[in-house]
Structure 1
């Protein structure tokens, strides 16, 4: 029940206190002041302090005989060691009595030592813990183990196969004395090799090697002009032909033609010459097997084989420091390896007939990449005959100079100038005309026109096609001698 609260009386006096509040917060009976007198007992109930729990009293009470108001912290000496009190020092205690002590130094008596008995194997190894008869037994066992191990090693060594032997004899197939060719290439090589020669051109400071082949029993040899150009321009050059049997013979130049890169040499007083069998290059087929003979890099009697890769390739041959050849050949392309030194050697078909003269090869890295070129034998024979007969050759020409043209309107050989009164002028050709066909052969460059004219015959009319101002015309032209 909540006691009623009376508002304070006017005039600053407190309102009367309720009996309940006075009983709780008022002074005990008989007390008028602020504090009750000491020892005065009142009739009102007072709080009583109960006896502590025995366990708590033992844990937190004062030790027996202690009259201190506060107990010492039991952890105050944690970690300290209990050390015995040092003995009394008479020098530090002024009240101590005089007494005698130990002398400053005391001499210790050392007993003399005598040498002991010498140690044996048994003492060192076993510390006298093994008897002599046991030690002897161990020695015998160790010897037996060594003997058995040696015997086993000897046995295994004898069982393993030896690395060397003086009883082994290697057997080979019986020697075949039959010299019959065992492949088509070998058959062709045997038939042609004796007609092929190596050509050496030497000066006091230079050396060149080429190839050639015998075309007549009187000692005529066909080769390339660029092989012997150095000898033709310097009389001090030594020119030799080396035959299959390594016989060296001095050669002379019977005739040469820088415009077709062909030359004929002549050797005298050579008996039993083997003449090459000439074939027909016009009958060649693309893909037909061919064999190249020569002396690449001075390696004479070298044979390589391949196929005919293409026909009628216009390949220009320009003069350089070692050759005055300035020609465009109508070449047979082959993948048979043709390297420097193969020049002038024969290109032979499977019937052992010469179908071309190895002349050039594209060797950008210094070796064959399967792009070799040979002069067709059908074009070489009339030139060789003319060189043997007269020492020179007359070539057909049409009296024009041309350059290659390739644009969106026309493709061919564009006329740059026309010689007055020449075959071209008579045929009605003008400057800037573009020849696109000659003798039925497509013309796509000036080199192809040069080859087409060189393969024509002097005095025989040839049909051709040319382009002028967007129109195409046909005409006839008669090549003349140069």
Structure 2
């Protein structure tokens, strides 16, 4: 029997429901509005029939070809489920592999992929109610209601405790980590170094204030040396070659003395003695430290001595040594037609260098027993090699007194030119010529005679004859022993002034 679709207008309505009575107040609050019988339409008659609903227009062929499924003749309508078989041998190596997406249909015209713009990790998830709140400011943290002051103080205490604990651990590790370091207190000798009276330190302390550095300046060049106070009036004893720059200084040259405390004072030349390399200058000072002269004739080889001066510009330098030899004749200079410097020197191994000239040589009591004047150096070496020479203090004292009193010095002279000789029959100073009207001519000394002794002084060379004669004064009559034609004879010679 054929069933016909009923007319839409003749459809049977739903079975009536048994509706209990509803309280009027509840019905007013939860009931449908007036005139509404169902949940879908205000009035059932107003809805169009099911077939009359509007639908979308058909898809254009171009879009269907580009985005639609495979043609209808393939018979593929659904994507293969995971693990489902199907397909032919040609499907091997297709996208249906273990690593591929099992729900993707290789034959599909379009594939749903990830969004074109990657999702920002910081962006809140869809549907999430959590958002970015306002950041806490410093006042909010310290004084606001978001952080309690008690909690903040407790946090500070915890941080302080952690920092102190870390520092303590680091200190312990540092102390125990290196076996080469430790906290030690070095021992010190008590009392300090003893400096008894007569020690080098004691002598240097007393002598150094009496020693000065001497600076000589001229238009072209200059030089430095040393000097020593010998009188409270400001007289300073030094070398002739220091204040005259070995005869090159002019009246316009300036002489400046520098004391151990750095005080500077201009000096004037009182007088000089080029033949013994001595000079006296004077400065205007009040109550200077003065050295007293010792007796240089009582020195013995091996006695300790101390030299003070300004070697190579190093002021206030102290060196120590001994007396290496006595009565060592030293000859220097004599260039430019000037008389050579000759003196009976004290030899010492105390370090003496350029700039020490004019400084004092003192004995173990601090007494002045010499004026440092020259050194002997090896070839290519201008420094000290332990051979220094000083003018004896007794000779320096006598000459300084004469300069201060008279402004110049006169020496005894024998009136003969000599040369050093050494032979089996005679050793001494051989007369080369005799000056007319001199002491040698008056006493009968002839050319060729060999002078071997003057007074009590043995003469072994020409320099020793000069110092032996200068030990006496002009006008003194002294016995002279000489060798003439193999015979030794003694004659009396009255010395004259140079």
Taking structure 2 as the reference length, what is the TM-score of the superposition?
A: 0.62
Aligned counterpart for 1:429 among listed residues 445, 464, 471:
445
Which aligned pairs between 1:331-370 and structure 2 lie closer than 5 A? 331-364=345-378, 365-370=381-386
Whole-Å Cα distance in 1 between the matches of residues 219 and 440 of structure 2? 48
* 2:293 is the counterpart of 1:278: yes
Change (3 A) 1:117 1:281: farther
Contact 2:218 2:249 in 1 (8 A): no
Which aligned pairs between 1:242-261 and structure 2 lie closer than 5 A? 242-261=258-277
Post-superposition shift, 1:254? 0.2
Post-superposition shift, 1:437? 1.1
Structure 2 counterpart of 1:221: 236
Contact 1:465 1:475 in 2 (8 A): yes
SS at match of 1:209: strand
Structure 2 counterpart of 1:316: 331
Residues 375-408 of structure 1: CA deviation (Å, up to 9, x unaligned) = 1111111111111111111110011111111233
Aligned counterpart for 2:393 among listed residues 377, 395, 402:
377
Post-superposition shift, 1:235? 2.5
* 2:318 is the counterpart of 1:303: yes
Which aligned pairs between 1:24-423 and structure 2 lie closer than 5 A? 161-162=177-178, 168=183, 171=186, 173=188, 184-230=199-245, 233-268=249-284, 270-319=285-334, 326-364=340-378, 365-423=381-439
Residues 193-214 of structure 1: CA deviation (Å, up to 9, x unaligned) = 1111111112344131111100
- How much is the aligned-residue C-alpha RMSD, in angstroms? 3.1
Structure 1 counterpart of 2:455: 439
SS at match of 2:382: coil
Change (3 A) 1:168 1:447: same
Whole-Å Cα distance in 2 between the matches of residues 251 and 177 of structure 1? 41
SS at match of 1:239: strand
Post-superposition shift, 1:272? 2.3
Unpaired runs of at least 5, structure 2: 1-90, 100-169
Change (3 A) 1:169 1:235: farther
Change (3 A) 1:460 1:287: same
Change (3 A) 1:325 1:214: farther
Whole-Å Cα distance in 2 between the matches of residues 162 and 169 of structure 1? 14
Post-superposition shift, 1:257? 0.6
Contact 1:227 1:343 in 2 (8 A): yes
Post-superposition shift, 1:246? 1.0
Aligned residues: 333
Unpaired runs of at least 5, structure 1: 1-111, 119-153
Post-superposition shift, 1:326? 2.5
Residues 414-435 of structure 1: CA deviation (Å, up to 9, x unaligned) = 1011122321112110001110
Change (3 A) 1:387 1:159: closer
Contact 2:331 2:342 in 1 (8 A): yes
Contact 2:476 2:495 in 1 (8 A): yes
Contact 2:358 2:373 in 1 (8 A): yes
Whole-Å Cα distance in 2 between the matches of residues 393 and 374 of structure 1? 19
Whole-Å Cα distance in 1 between the matches of residues 180 and 338 of structure 2? 64
Contact 1:296 1:302 in 2 (8 A): yes
Change (3 A) 1:225 1:113: farther
Post-superposition shift, 1:173? 3.6
Change (3 A) 1:117 1:326: farther
SS at match of 1:286: coil
Change (3 A) 1:199 1:164: same
Contact 1:201 1:207 in 2 (8 A): yes
SS at match of 2:250: coil
Post-superposition shift, 1:117? 8.8
Whole-Å Cα distance in 1 between the matches of residues 375 and 450 of structure 2? 30
Contact 1:226 1:325 in 2 (8 A): no
Whole-Å Cα distance in 2 between the matches of residues 189 and 176 of structure 1? 22
Residues 241-294 of structure 1: CA deviation (Å, up to 9, x unaligned) = 1112111000000000101110000111x1121111111101111111111111
Whole-Å Cα distance in 1 between the matches of residues 386 and 453 of structure 2? 30
